[in-house]
Amino acid sequence: MFPDALHISIREPINTAVQALVVNYGFVFKAISHTILQAILFIEWILRGLPWWVMIIAFMVLTWQATRKVSLVIVVAVLLFAIGALGLWDLAMQTLALMLMATLISVAIGVPMGIWLAKSRLMRSITLPVLDVMQTMPSFVYLIPAIMLFGLGKVPAVLATIVYAVPPLIRLTDLGIRQVDGEVVEAATAFGGSPRQILFGVELPLATPTIMAGLNQTIMMALSMVVVASMIGARGLGEQVLNGIQTLDVGKGLEAGLGIVILAIVLDRITQGFGRSKLEDGQNG
């Protein structure tokens, strides 16, 4: 046995700190929570407000833009139609709204962070271990404090999803920028490009395929958080899965599970398509 005398506990200080945060700064978190909630509700309002066929056409157009493959456009339409046919349309739109919000915030945080990591070795050595923690820490560990700070419902779900889903985007943005051919950057510098002109005119465009791969990973991970998020009161497909399991209704759980898989496949193909189309332009010939 490990000797008791050497036992150190960080339990109490952490508990006190979280409690102090809730008591003293509750209003700050409430404000943040309110803002995010309004944004989610707005996205939800659009997605749920549009007729189903408009949504399907919109997805078909996106797929066409991304892949230029007629077959995939048809597959996407059929898959989305299946979601509706399974009676999951409204739930799927709620899940999609949650995921979109988490992805938007992830991009807003992840891409600038990735750029910073690529530019600063110090920043990278500090951030990479933090990303490891974010990815491996069981999500319930931060779900509970998230509930204490932001209340039950969609907001802590979105935030927990971001914690889990943003690391690949940061990593791949960093990687993408560092992978840009050094001589091309050198040439841009030699012709007098400013750091900003080089970042936006050379580095980011050339890193786009890698960044898109990161975005793809972020979306996939966000979707896989859907069931966990439903445990803290986020509605949508995940809630249905949870319901199914709790009532031993295997069929219901599987239906909703299929809905999540379909959303994942559709979004995966679209984001991959956007990443790849640029890559192929750059390599074939």
Partner 1 sequence: MAEIEIRNVFKIFGKNAGEAMAMARNGAQKPEILERTGCSIGLNDISLKIGASRIFVIMGLSGSGKSTLVRHINRLIEPTSGEILIDGKNVLDLKPRDLRDFRTHRVSMVFQSFGLMPHRTVLQNVVYGQRVRGLSKADANPIGMKWIETVGLAGYENKYPHQLSGGMKQRVGLARALAADTDVILMDEAFSALDPLIRTDMQDQLLQLEKNLSKTIVFITHDLDEALRIGAEIAILKDGKLVQVGTPSQILNTPADDYVARFVQRRAGAEVGHHG
Residues near partner 1 (CB under 8 A) are 181, 183-184, 186-194, 197, 202, 205-206, 278, 281-285
Of the pair 132, 186, the CB lying nearest partner 1 is at: 186
CA dihedral sign, ordered 226, 228, 233, 237: positive
Min separation Cβ 189 and partner 1, Å: 6
3-state class (DSSP) for residue 223: helix
The pair of three-digit structure tokens given for residue 33, joined into one six-digit string: 């929570």
CA distance 139 to 41: 24
Q: Closest separation between CB of residue 184 and partner 1, Å?
A: 5
66 or 202: CB nearest partner 1: 202
CB of 273 to partner 1, least distance (A): 18
Residue 169 Cβ vs partner 1, minimum distance, rounded to whole Å: 21
Cβ proximity of 280 and 109 under 8 Å: no
- Closer to partner 1 by Cβ: residue 174 or 203: 203
**275 within 8 A of 212, measured Cβ to Cβ:** yes
Distances (CA, A) of 150 to 12, 52, 89, 230: 21, 32, 28, 15
Residue with Cβ nearer partner 1 (13 or 192): 192
Q: How far is the CB of 106 from partner 1 (least distance, A)?
A: 25
Q: Which residue number, 178 or 252, has a Cβ lying nearer to partner 1?
A: 178
Q: Residue 122: which residues within 8 A CB-CB, separation 6 or more?
A: none
Closest to partner 1 by CB, 96 or 206: 206
Selection from 238, 275, 257, 87 nearest residue 161 by Cα = 238
Closest distance between partner 1 and the C-beta of residue 198, in Å? 9
